[in-house]
Amino acid sequence: MIQIENLHKSFGSLEVIKGVDLHVKTGEVVCIIGPSGSGKSTVLRCINRLEKPTSGRIIVDGHDIMAKATNINTVRAEAGMVFQQFNLFPHMTVLENVTLGPIKVRSMAKKESQTFGLSLLDKVGLIEKADAFPEQLSGGQKQRVAIARSLALQPKVILFDEPTSALDPELVGEVLEVMKQLAHEGMTMVVVTHEMGFAREVADRVIFIDQGKIQEQGPPDQFFTNPKNERLKEFLGMVISHI
């Protein structure tokens, strides 16, 4: 589904990604963890070209995102993204947030998009909020709407950029529940997160990125119980001692 080869990304003279290779199979749930500033979000944002890679190759669903012939908007519709700060459209109702993509990008009829949008809001448990505006929602509700908004494009993969980092602790659970449900339904997911519990329970593979490189990866059991990389041990030690 996603093939990243030798990805490099610099901001000015600062190189933040120093050669990342990553393949994500259809239906796979990959969690990316790592300290702040390690470049994990940047890798994710390169996948749908919100950040333009400096060099390397990224293939998403058969499309080379760097190729001139590729229409990036088509790729983005196939690769949904959920942001840390939700980024809902504040001037639109919850339902309009969800139906905008289907109407404008998928050319769906308005009526049909509303039925579809309501079914997605039902799926994330927010059908009763369809006519509310984003500012009337809690953080957890906003993030669930954002997930419904990206699902509305019927994407082949969803990229989650620290989806629970901006939430009050008691609201994290409801968002993770929805993500778990998606994972069980077979959605391909790449999740940048600090939720070790989620990674452990849901991920097929966990990846540790530090200093712009993948330092270690593996299935969660092995990854968390028997980490080999020194930096990962240190990182897990710090994260887990806080729990």
Provide the binding-site residues for another protein, judged by CB under 8 A.
Answer: 48, 50, 73-74, 76-77, 80-81, 83, 85, 87-92, 100-101, 104-105, 133, 135, 149-150, 152-153
- Give per-residue burial for 72-96: e unless 16+ CB within 10 Å, then b: beebbbbbbbbbbebebeeeebbbb
User: To which residue do tokens 């840390």 refer?
Assistant: 84
Question: What are the phi and psi torsion angles at 118 (to 5°)?
Answer: -65, -35
CB 27 to another protein: min, Å: 21
Q: How far is the CB of 47 from another protein (least distance, A)?
A: 11
- Counted residue by residue, the chain has a size of 243
Nearest to another protein of 6, 136 (CB atom): 136
Confirm if 152 and 122 have CB atoms less than 8 A apart: no
Q: Could you give phi then psi for residue 33, rounded to 5 degrees?
A: -120, 170
**To the nearest whole angstrom, how small is the minimum distance from the Cβ of residue 91 to another protein?**
3
Q: How far apart are CA 237 and CA 233, in angstroms?
A: 6
Q: Which is nearer to another protein, 153 or 196 (CB)?
A: 153
Give the residue with the Cβ less far from another protein, 42 or 48. Answer: 48
What CA–CA distance (Å, rounded) separates 136 from 142? 9
Phi and psi based region of residue 17 (left: phi greater than 0; alpha: psi -120 to 50; beta: remaining): beta
- Residue with Cβ nearer another protein (4 or 232): 4
Min. distance of Cβ 158 from another protein in angstroms? 10
CB of 130 to another protein, least distance (A): 14
Contact predicate 191/30, CB 8 Å: yes
**Of 80 and 220, which CB lies nearer to another protein in the complex structure?**
80
